[in-house]
């Protein structure tokens, strides 16, 4: 009976996957399952990791960044401490830091991983961090204080188009970096017709799924190719063996702790072609 039931399930899945809508449904179900399993692994691993690790980032462009307490907002925490979080971006972040921006705008700043991390690496830059969550704002302020950057970071609430338009004229062309992780609101906020200053800023944007947009990468190319060099960064799998700190965990929990995302779109790097860039800088370099 059990084998017959399994056979029926397999045939159902095969037929469902034969249609575009069915394949999409199966993909979403697989993503939700992966997220659920990763959550279980992280909860099981949490006591051991709290006992083994201090709240300080170990690797990557923000190594040495101190958290005021264990915990993050809106994204996984342990990958940030281990240096696994969005590690695909590490070479890009280092290249951007080398451009010595005077201003950074972080939309969706959460507890401050990028806002405070960039403030540490760009010690003369002014940072405005948009974060709508009260908990995120509290942790962001505490992290800024902990890392001696609170005098250069201004914390704002939710970022909508009106807020971005109001603040944009205060950010200089060619000296501004925008970091955006807005959970699909990037399609509303990053509108060059509404915010013409975008044409003169470099931007690193996480792309999210939205049915009305279709392919996020096509949107990015279509929207910015006339003003920016457009390049894409893919998400990559994590190898637990690269993080020896995970040896305190059972092997079946290690990969789940490192899971950050399941969508396939990654990030887009938009490098302004406009006048006013730092001396010697060429878009796409």
pLDDT at 14 over 70: no
How far separated are the first and last CA of the chain, in Å rounded? 62
According to DSSP, the residues that pair with 228 across neighbouring strands are 272
Q: Give whole-number Cα distances, 154 to 105, 115, 144, 173, 283, in Å.
A: 10, 10, 10, 19, 28
pLDDT at 243: 96
pLDDT band at 281 (very low <50, low <70, confident <90, very high): very low
Gap between the Cα atoms of 276 and 255, Å rounded: 44
- Residues 6 or more apart whose CB falls under 8 angstroms from that of 62 comprise 113, 117, 120, 121
CA angle 77, 78, 84 (to 5 degrees): 105
- pLDDT class for 279, splitting at 50, 70, 90? very low
Q: Is the pLDDT of residue 5 over 60?
A: no
CB atoms within 10 A of CB 35: 14
Task: Output the pLDDT for position 43.
Answer: 85
Percentage of the chain beyond pLDDT 90 is 71
Residue 74 banded pLDDT, cuts 50, 70, 90 = confident
State residue 157's pLDDT score: 95
Residue 8: pLDDT over 50: no
* 39 pLDDT tier (thresholds 50, 70, 90): low
Can you tell me the distance from the alpha carbon of 68 to that of 53, in angstroms, rounded to the nearest whole number?
13
Relative to beta strand 267-272, strand 228-233 is antiparallel
Q: What is the pLDDT of residue 18?
A: 52
At residue 1, the pLDDT reads 54
Averaged pLDDT, 126-142: 96
Structural domains present in the chain: 2-272 (3.40.50.150)
Q: Check: CB of residue 212 under 8 Å from CB of residue 188.
A: no
Strands 202-206 and 267-272 turn out to be antiparallel
Q: Using CA atoms in the order 279, 93, 148, 81, what is the torsion angle rounded to 10 degrees?
A: -170
Among the listed residues 151, 156, 118, 153, the one whose alpha carbon sits nearest the alpha carbon of residue 137? 156
Q: Is the pLDDT of residue 274 over 90?
A: no
Handedness of CA 204, 210, 212, 216 (dihedral sign): positive
Entry pTM: 0.85
**Separation of alpha carbons 191 and 207, rounded Å:** 15
128 pLDDT above the threshold of 90? yes
For residue range 188-206, what is the model confidence (pLDDT) as tens digits?
999 999 999 999 999 999 9
Q: CB–CB of 156/163 below 8 Å?
A: yes
pLDDT of 42 strictly over 50: yes
Task: With beta carbons less than 8 A apart as the criterion, state whether 262 and 34 touch.
Answer: yes
**Tell me, what's the pLDDT at 48?**
94
* pLDDT score, position 192: 96
More confident residue, 131 or 262: 131
Q: Tell me what pLDDT residue 15 has.
A: 52
Question: What does the alpha-carbon distance between residue 89 and residue 42 come to, in Å, rounded to a whole number?
Answer: 23
3-state helix, strand, coil in the chain (%, to 5): 45, 15, 40
Q: What is the mean pLDDT of residues 52-69?
A: 97
- Angle between helix 2-17 and helix 20-52 axes, rounded to 10 deg: 110
Give the pLDDT of residue 219.
97
């Amino acid at each position: 009976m059990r084998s017959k039931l399994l056979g029926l399930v397999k045939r159902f899945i095969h037929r469902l996957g034969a249609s575009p809508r069915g394949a999409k449904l199966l993909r979403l179900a697989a993503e939700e399952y992966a997220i659920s399993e990763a959550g279980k692994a992280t909860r099981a691993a949490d006591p051991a990791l709290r006992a083994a690790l201090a709240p300080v980032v170990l690797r990557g462009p923000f190594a040495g960044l101190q958290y005021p307490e264990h915990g993050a907002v809106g994204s996984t925490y342990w990958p940030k401490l281990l240096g696994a979080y969005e590690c695909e971006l590490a070479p890009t972040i280092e290249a951007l830091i080398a451009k010595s921006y005077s201003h950074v705008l972080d939309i969706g700043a959460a507890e401050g991983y990028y806002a405070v991390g960039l403030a540490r690496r760009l010690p003369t830059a002014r940072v405005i961090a948009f974060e709508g969550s009260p908990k995120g704002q509290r942790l962001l302020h505490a992290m800024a204080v902990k890392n001696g950057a609170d005098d250069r970071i201004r914390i704002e609430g939710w970022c909508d188009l009106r807020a971005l338009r109001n603040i944009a004229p205060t950010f200089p062309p060619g000296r501004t970096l925008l970091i955006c992780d807005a959970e699909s609101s990037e399609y509303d906020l990053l509108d060059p017709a509404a915010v013409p200053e975008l044409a003169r800023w470099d931007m690193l944007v996480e792309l999210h799924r939205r049915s009305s947009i279709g392919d996020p990468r096509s949107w990015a190319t279509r929207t910015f190719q006339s003003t920016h060099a457009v390049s894409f960064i893919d998400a990559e799998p994590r190898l637990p063996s690269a993080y020896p700190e995970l040896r305190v965990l059972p092997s079946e929990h290690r990969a789940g702790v490192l899971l950050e995302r399941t969508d396939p779109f990654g990030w887009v790097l938009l490098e302004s072609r406009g006048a006013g860039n730092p001396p010697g800088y060429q878009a796409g370099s």
